[in-house]
């Protein structure tokens, strides 16, 4: 019963994050990307990049434009 409630809450949270027009992403304690909504994927050009469980440095190696975009948005 408790697992069903957590699953429902997870679904609602996922729907909320996806519905937001702003970039929303979550990283784990090691700085690895875990969740990214559609706005984030567009902003950081991650559509065809295997971004999940990657650090910023790993993403920059896979997609050099990521480093520039990330640095520009991190300064604000």
Please report the pLDDT score of residue 75 as a whole number. Answer: 67
Tell how far CA 37 is from the center of its chain.
6
State yes or no: pLDDT of 36 exceeds 90.
Answer: yes
Q: What is the band of 5 on the pLDDT scale with cuts at 50, 70, 90?
A: confident
Question: In angstroms, what is the C-alpha Rg of the chain?
Answer: 14
- 74 burial (CB, 10 Å; 0-12 / 13-18 / 19+) is exposed
Please, what's the largest Cα pairwise distance for the chain?
A: 46
Provide the number of structural domains found in the chain. 1
- Which domain, by its residues, includes 27? 1-73
**Does residue 30 carry a pLDDT above 70?**
yes
pLDDT confidence of 76, banded at 50, 70, 90?
low
Q: Is the pLDDT of residue 2 over 90?
A: no
Q: What is the mean pLDDT of the chain?
A: 87
């Amino acid at each position: 019963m408790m697992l069903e409630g957590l699953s429902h809450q997870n679904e609602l949270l996922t729907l909320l994050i996806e519905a937001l027009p702003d970039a929303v992403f979550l990283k784990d304690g090691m700085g690895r990307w875990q969740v990214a909504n559609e706005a984030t994927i567009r902003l950081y050009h991650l559509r065809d990049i295997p971004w999940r469980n990657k650090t910023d440095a790993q993403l920059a190696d896979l997609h050099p434009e990521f480093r520039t975009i990330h640095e520009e948005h991190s300064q604000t």
